[in-house]
Amino acid sequence: MKGLTGSVLRSIETLTEDARTFKPLMVPDITFADVPCSGLGTLSRKPDIKWKKEVEDIPALVTLQREILENAASFTRPGGVIVYSTCTIEPDENYENIEWFLEEYPEFELDRAEKYLHKDVCQDGYMITFPHIHNCSGAFAARLVKKG
């Protein structure tokens, strides 16, 4: 894999596994949970989504997203990080999932996005973009750190 400087990155390993049950052989410093979602933040680029998704689909997606978060929590070491992201603007797939997670897993805390990103894409500690405001796809991300 070529980096921006043209060097080869040897510290990244990619695998294809079920994110609900995957157990890494070595505990990672950071787990990126770019979860399956409704994709409603990408309607301007993928207008066919509005014919393929139903409101009834979202609860099943939320369940899947939470299962992935729970699994990631099971192998995150103290001081380790989970970065949760979606390409949707649906609250139940975004900050409501994170609020649920932090309540269920009090050993984790939100590492506020404002520490890393421009304030224009930050809201309540999360990275959030909206097509009509930011002139890009709608997206969400939260950085969760395991205390200790």
Any domain includes 138: yes
Q: How far apart are the C-alpha atoms of 125 and 21, rounded to whole Å? A: 28
Position 86 in a domain: yes
Band of pLDDT at residue 145, cut at 50, 70 and 90: very high
Give the phi and the psi of residue 85 in degrees, each rounded to 5.
-145, 150
28-47 pLDDT per residue, tens? 899 999 999 988 888 777 76
Residue 1 pLDDT grade (very low, low, confident, very high; cuts 50, 70, 90): very low
139 within domain boundaries: yes
Q: Does residue 87 have an active-site annotation?
A: yes
Would residue 131 count as lying in a domain? yes
91-133 residue pLDDT tens: 999 999 999 999 999 999 999 999 999 999 999 999 999 999 9
Q: Tokens 């052989």 label which residue?
A: 25
Query: Taking a C-beta distance cutoff of 8 angstroms, is the pair 21, 71 a contact?
Result: yes
Residue 114: inside a domain, yes or no?
yes
> Tokens standing for 34?
């770019």
Report the domain count for the chain. Answer: 1
Establish if 72 belongs to a structural domain. yes
Greatest alpha-carbon pair distance for the chain in Å reads 46
The overall average pLDDT reported for the chain is: 90
Instruction: Name the residue type at position 117.
Output: L
The reported pTM is 0.87
Percent composition of the chain: helix, strand, coil (DSSP 3-state, to 5) = 30, 20, 45
| Residue range 16-25: mean pLDDT, rounded | 93
Q: Is residue 4 part of a domain?
A: no
The single residue of 37, 87, 122, 136 carrying the catalytic annotation is 87
**CATH number of 116's domain:** 3.40.50.150
User: Domain range spanning residue 111?
Assistant: 30-146
Q: How far apart are CA 103 and CA 131, in angstroms?
A: 30
**For residue 50, pLDDT beyond 90:** no
> What percent of the chain is predicted at pLDDT more than 90?
71
Instruction: Look at residue 46 and tell me if it is in a domain.
Output: yes
72 or 16: whose pLDDT is higher?
72
- Structure tokens that stand for 84 in this block: 């949760």
Q: What tokens appear for 116 in the block?
A: 């890393």
